[in-house]
Amino acid sequence: MKKAALAFAVLAVFASPSFAQSVGEKTGVNSTLGIAPKTEDFIKEAAMSDMTEIEAAKIAQQKGNADEKQFAEMMVKDRTKTSSELKSMVPDTLKAAIPASLDDASQKKITKLREAKPEDFASEYDAMQVSAHKDAVSLFERYSNGGDDAKLKDWAGKTLAALKHHLEMAQTLDKNRK
């Protein structure tokens, strides 16, 4: 298993620059090995995370219980802020890394939330929030520890505290539902 993970990591290092996202980020190998994402991957993943969270929060504001609505309101506010900050810091040469719309995987999550029956919404949304925030914390930790753009690396480190707080809140939402 370790050899396979190492093979993926090596492949990620030598992957074609024409890939929209490195193999290591696509497969989760970088996360498993604690490797910092390439700057382009960090930008793409951070922006996609923000867009997905904002869309999910808008649905939760309509379909969620009182706690989910309150959490969703904070997500819209905080993730809109981080999205604006990120866009303002991206070097001109990497502006193309900022996605214009949700990717297929994110769109499927949003569709699943939209189509969730009222009695199933909390379990779908709460679990999605825990998973999404674990991923975001991992992404930002790895980039803040080893990213190669000093400005983005510093910002990732400063943003981590809020993401960790969001994760704790999402875990509380999920625990209280059970």
Give the domain CATH number at 132.
1.20.1260.10
Q: Are residues 27 and 99 in the same domain?
A: no
pLDDT in tens, 97-141: 999 999 999 999 999 999 999 999 999 999 999 999 999 999 999
Q: Are residues 91 and 5 in the same domain?
A: no
Residue percentage of the chain with pLDDT more than 70: 81
pLDDT recorded at residue 36: 87
Tokens 């199933």 sit on residue: 120
Q: Are residues 30 and 95 in the same domain?
A: no
Q: Is the pLDDT of residue 161 over 60?
A: yes
**Structural domain boundaries, residue 11:** 1-34
Q: What whole-number distance in Å separates Cα of residue 74 and Cα of residue 59?
A: 13
Q: Are residues 129 and 100 in the same domain?
A: yes
Q: Is the pLDDT of residue 80 over 80?
A: yes
DSSP letter string, 24-80: HHHHTHHHHHTPPPPHHHHHHHHHHHHHHHHHHHHHHHHHS-HHHHHHHHHHHHHHH
The HSE-up count of residue 144 (CA atoms within 13 Å, CB side) is 16
* CA-closest candidate to residue 51, choices 126, 125, 109: 109
φ and ψ of 100, to 5 deg: -85, -20
DSSP for residue 95? G
Q: Are residues 52 and 22 in the same domain?
A: no
Q: Are residues 69 and 2 in the same domain?
A: no
pLDDT recorded at residue 23: 60
Q: Are residues 71 and 23 in the same domain?
A: no
Given its phi and psi angles, is residue 34 left (phi above 0), alpha (psi -120 to 50 degrees) or beta? left
Q: Are residues 104 and 51 in the same domain?
A: yes
Total number of domains constituting the chain? 2
Q: Are residues 91 and 58 in the same domain?
A: yes
Are the C-beta atoms of residues 38 and 31 closer than 8 Å to each other? Answer: no
pTM listed for this prediction:
0.83
